[in-house]
């Protein structure tokens, strides 16, 4: 690794420990150069057999964004929300509701749809290749000051998303990531302590107990 420099972004742990979901965005544009930077980071994720099976569709066309929004909102209203009621903390449920009410995918300057080309990987390795790529994308966006969220609800409606984006049969939509400047400052991520979920050598042996 080269030494610190302004072009190489903020310190790694400042980025990784403060990244969190953003669901409402300012109107400020996101440049093609920023998207290139974010996608370059995404393509540096590992993938099974280093096959790099990702395909990205970068959506700025309002008609396409609206179509993807409608698919996601229909999935949320048509079962997703009912399923999440009682499962999600009220605060998080309200945040998701506010995201849809505030325009959802339509309110983001850009959407990136991350797909897997199953002619370049096995169906069994789609997830282990695509989600690390998506995580790199979120972190890189945050390093540039962009908000984002990892959403799978819209992508889970595969045939409809495929029709909107003109995806061939062998390209499977997996994740939709809205990108844009956060409309307001985001609080810190809420996480449980590492020690509560870490075991030493075998499950059930406390990580901290044997130091």
Can you read off the two tokens belonging to residue 58? 């970068």
Q: Which of residues 135-164 bind a copy of itself (CB under 8 A)?
A: 135-136, 138-140, 143, 149-150, 152
Q: Supply the DSSP string of 82-133, one letter for each residue.
A: HHHTTTS-HHHHHHHHHHHHTTGGGGSSEEEEEEEETTSS-GGGHHHHHHHH
171 binds a copy of itself (CB under 8 A): yes
Query: 39-68 mask for a copy of itself (x: CB under 8 A)?
Result: xxx-xxxx-xxx-x-xxxxxxxx--x----
Give the nearer residue to a copy of itself in terms of CB position, either 104 or 144: 144
Shortest separation between residue 86's beta carbon and a copy of itself, angstroms: 12
Among 1, 27, 90, 184, binds a copy of itself (CB under 8 A): 1
**With CB under 8 A, what is the number of residues at the site for a copy of itself?**
84
CA distance 174 to 156: 7
Shortest separation between residue 27's beta carbon and a copy of itself, angstroms: 19
What CA–CA distances, in Å, run from 173 to 1, 109, 162, 181? Answer: 34, 20, 7, 24
Give the nearer residue to a copy of itself in terms of CB position, either 56 or 118: 56
Q: Supply φ then ψ for residue 171, to 5 degrees.
A: -110, 115
């Amino acid at each position: 690794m080269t030494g610190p420099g302004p072009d190489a972004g903020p310190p790694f742990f400042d980025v990784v420990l403060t990244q969190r979901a953003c669901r409402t965005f300012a109107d400020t544009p996101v440049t093609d150069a920023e998207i290139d930077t974010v996608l370059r980071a995404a393509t540096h994720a590992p993938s099974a057999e280093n096959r790099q099976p990702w395909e990205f569709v970068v959506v700025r066309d309002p008609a396409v964004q609206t179509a993807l929004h409608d698919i996601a909102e229909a999935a949320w209203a048509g079962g997703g929300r009912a399923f999440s009621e009682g499962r999600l903390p009220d605060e998080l449920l309200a945040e998701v509701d506010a995201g849809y009410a505030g325009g959802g995918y339509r309110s983001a300057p850009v959407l990136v749809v991350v797909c897997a080309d199953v002619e370049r990987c096995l169906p069994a390795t789609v997830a282990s290749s695509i989600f690390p790529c998506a995580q790199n994308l979120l972190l890189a966006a945050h390093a540039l000051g962009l908000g984002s969220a990892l959403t799978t609800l819209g992508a889970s409606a595969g045939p409809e998303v495929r029709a909107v984006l003109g995806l061939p049969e062998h390209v499977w939509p997996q994740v939709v990531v809205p990108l844009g400047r956060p409309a307001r400052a985001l609080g810190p991520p809420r996480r449980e302590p590492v020690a509560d979920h870490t075991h030493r050598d075998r499950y059930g042996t406390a990580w901290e107990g044997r130091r």
